[in-house]
């Protein structure tokens, strides 16, 4: 039916409100006041997450700060322990007195501060003397020998220093309001193997008594240190060399070594033609090597000269054959001359060439010693000053060795006693 004269209600679309969805358009005003928008709800969630995250981040920061603080305290305790162990060893080396060395270690600890207070140790529990085995790398407080000390500086509830508070974690009510730092340090002295390479050429005849006294003074100093595994030996040399005393344990063989060294003399010259000349050229010393040892057979009656290289080679062989790869190995070279060959008047050019070769051989031997961990001390007795002798003898120093020179033979015992005190310590951790 057409709608012309009669009333009808045509369907007219209801227009959507601008900027609203059809669902929002159907909401009444009270509905809008009761239900917040999703945007508002999201803002509330973010605030909660930020609060929780901030707490976690601050907590982790506190842990990081306190961890760094604990490491700092541990490093400080370690440094104090190391220094105290080294101080105790130095005193032990010089005095062989365990109790005095313990007091030195404690005094050294007390001289430092730890977390704002004087550091301290229990001298009986925290300073322990014993034996260190370099092969197994073990410390044994019950060892039959003493070459080592262990110092432990502690900062915990059981120590004399007590524990210490952390910087941040206490604010969070945790049980970690204190921390501990335990830092042991073990110092050990390597046992020593020492060979004296002694010049016994004819030129040393007037000073051989002082040289002998010096060697015996050195032996006494090593024996007084009372380290049971120290060994000592001697090589004598002219133009050639020989083993005079094999490497021997000082503690066990002191008496026999002393008796042997008491017979040290300059080389034997009791053969033709010297017995026709009499003293001082003729010299009967059957316990010593011949002055001509190493001479060519057609010059056998001439002295063979001076070869520091021959002495060094013999000493190096003794040390490398000792069987102890962990000992401190030292050669002490004592000589009153420079390398020299003696050809008489037969061939001056060949004599000079031989002398130069002996000098180079000495440098090569010293280099080989250093390559094998052997240090060389060099002592030059230079009464009528010879610059070449000084230069050569000084150039033979290797490792932590040192050069000494004197024109006075009475200085030799003092020099060797000083060297006995200088052989270094090894600090292991």
Q: Where are the domains of the chain?
A: 45-188, 192-427
Least-confidence region, from 39-53, 154-168, 349-363, 410-424: 39-53
pLDDT at residue 168 is higher than 60: no
pLDDT at residue 62 is higher than 90: no
pLDDT for the residue numbered 58: 53
| C-alpha separations of 408 from 194, 202, 301, 379, 380 in Å | 24, 18, 31, 12, 10
For residues 294-309, give the mean pLDDT. 90
User: What are φ and ψ of residue 42, in 5° steps?
Assistant: -65, -40
pLDDT for the residue numbered 301: 86
How many CA atoms within 13 Å lie on the side-chain side of 144? 2
Q: How far apart are CA 266 and CA 268, in angstroms?
A: 7
For residues 195-213, give the mean pLDDT. 95
Chain-wide mean pLDDT for the chain? 83
pLDDT for the residue numbered 60: 60
For residues 241-267, give the mean pLDDT. 97
Model confidence at 35, pLDDT cuts 50, 70, 90, reads low
Cβ atoms of 293 and 238 within 8 Å: the answer is yes
pLDDT for the residue numbered 379: 97
What percentage of the chain reaches a pLDDT higher than 90?
52
Q: How far apart are CA 305 and CA 118, in angstroms?
A: 64
Instruction: Give the right CATH number for 192-427 from 3.40.50.150, 3.40.50.410, 3.40.50.1100, 3.30.300.30.
Output: 3.40.50.410
Residue 194 DSSP SS3: strand
Model confidence at 18, pLDDT cuts 50, 70, 90, reads very low
pLDDT for the residue numbered 57: 58
pLDDT for the residue numbered 338: 92
pLDDT at residue 38 is higher than 60: no
Count other C-beta atoms under 10 Å from residue 181's C-beta: 23
pLDDT for the residue numbered 68: 77
What are the residues whose beta carbons fall under 8 Å from the beta carbon of 411, sequence distance 6 or more?
none
Maximum average pLDDT range among 101-105, 137-141, 350-354: 101-105
Q: Write out the two tokens for 257.
A: 């070594």
Class of residue 31 by CB neighbours under 10 A (exposed 0-12, middle 13-18, buried 19+): exposed
Task: State yes or no: cis peptide before 299, omega within 30 of 0.
Answer: no
Cβ atoms of 109 and 121 within 8 Å: the answer is yes
pLDDT for the residue numbered 171: 55
Q: pLDDT digits over 69-119, tens only? A: 777 888 888 899 999 999 998 888 778 889 999 999 999 999 998 887 888
pTM: 0.73
pLDDT at residue 176 is higher than 60: no
Q: pLDDT digits over 360-381, tens only? A: 999 999 999 999 999 999 999 9
Q: pLDDT digits over 307-350, tens only? A: 999 999 999 999 999 988 888 999 999 999 899 998 876 688 88
pLDDT for the residue numbered 4: 41
For residues 214-241, give the mean pLDDT. 92
Model confidence at 169, pLDDT cuts 50, 70, 90, reads low
pLDDT for the residue numbered 369: 98
pLDDT for the residue numbered 11: 47
pLDDT for the residue numbered 134: 84
pLDDT for the residue numbered 15: 47
pLDDT for the residue numbered 180: 56
Q: How far apart are CA 250 and CA 236, in angstroms?
A: 19
What percentage of the chain reaches a pLDDT higher than 70?
78
pLDDT for the residue numbered 157: 72
Q: How far apart are CA 349 and CA 144, in angstroms?
A: 60
């Amino acid at each position: 039916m057409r709608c012309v004269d009669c009333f009808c209600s045509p369907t007219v679309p209801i227009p959507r409100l601008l900027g609203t969805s059809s669902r929002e358009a159907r909401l009444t005003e009270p509905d809008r006041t009761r239900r917040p928008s999703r945007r508002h709800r999201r803002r509330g969630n973010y605030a909660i997450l930020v609060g929780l995250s901030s707490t976690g981040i601050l907590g982790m920061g506190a842990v990081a700060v306190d961890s760094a603080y604990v490491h700092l305290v541990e490093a400080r305790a370690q440094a104090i322990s190391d220094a105290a162990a080294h101080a105790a060893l130095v005193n032990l080396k010089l005095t062989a007195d365990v109790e005095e060395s313990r007091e030195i270690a404690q005094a050294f600890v007390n001289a430092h501060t730890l977390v704002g207070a004087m550091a301290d140790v229990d001298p009986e529990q925290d300073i322990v003397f014993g034996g260190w085995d370099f092969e197994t790398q073990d410390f044994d407080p019950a060892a039959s020998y003493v070459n080592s000390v262990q110092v432990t500086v502690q900062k915990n509830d059981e120590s004399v220093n007590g524990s210490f508070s952390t910087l941040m974690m206490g604010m969070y009510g945790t049980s970690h309001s204190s921390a501990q730092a335990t830092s042991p340090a073990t110092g050990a002295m390597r046992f020593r193997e020492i060979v004296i390479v002694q010049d016994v050429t004819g030129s040393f005849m007037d000073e051989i008594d002082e040289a002998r006294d010096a060697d015996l003074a050195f032996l006494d100093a090593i024996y007084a240190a009372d380290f049971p595994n120290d060994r000592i030996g001697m090589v004598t040399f002219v133009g050639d060399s020989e083993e005079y005393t094999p490497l021997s344990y000082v503690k066990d063989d002191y008496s026999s070594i002393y008796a042997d060294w008491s017979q040290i003399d300059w080389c034997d010259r009791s053969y033709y033609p010297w017995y026709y000349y009499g003293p001082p050229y003729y010299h009967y010393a059957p316990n010593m090597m011949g002055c001509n040892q190493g001479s060519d057979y057609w010059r056998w009656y001439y002295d063979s000269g001076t070869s520091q290289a021959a002495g060094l080679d013999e000493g190096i062989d003794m040390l490398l054959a000792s069987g102890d790869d962990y000992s401190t190995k030292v050669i002490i070279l004592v000589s009153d001359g420079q390398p020299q060959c003696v050809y008489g008047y037969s061939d001056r050019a060949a004599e000079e060439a031989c002398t130069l070769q002996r000098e180079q051989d000495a440098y090569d031997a010293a280099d080989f010693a250093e390559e094998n961990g052997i240090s060389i001390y060099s002592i030059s007795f230079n009464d009528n000053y010879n610059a070449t002798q000084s230069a050569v003898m000084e150039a033979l120093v290797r490792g932590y060795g040192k050069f000494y020179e004197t024109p006075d033979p009475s200085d030799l015992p003092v020099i060797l006693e000083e060297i006995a005190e200088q052989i270094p310590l090894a600090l292991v951790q």
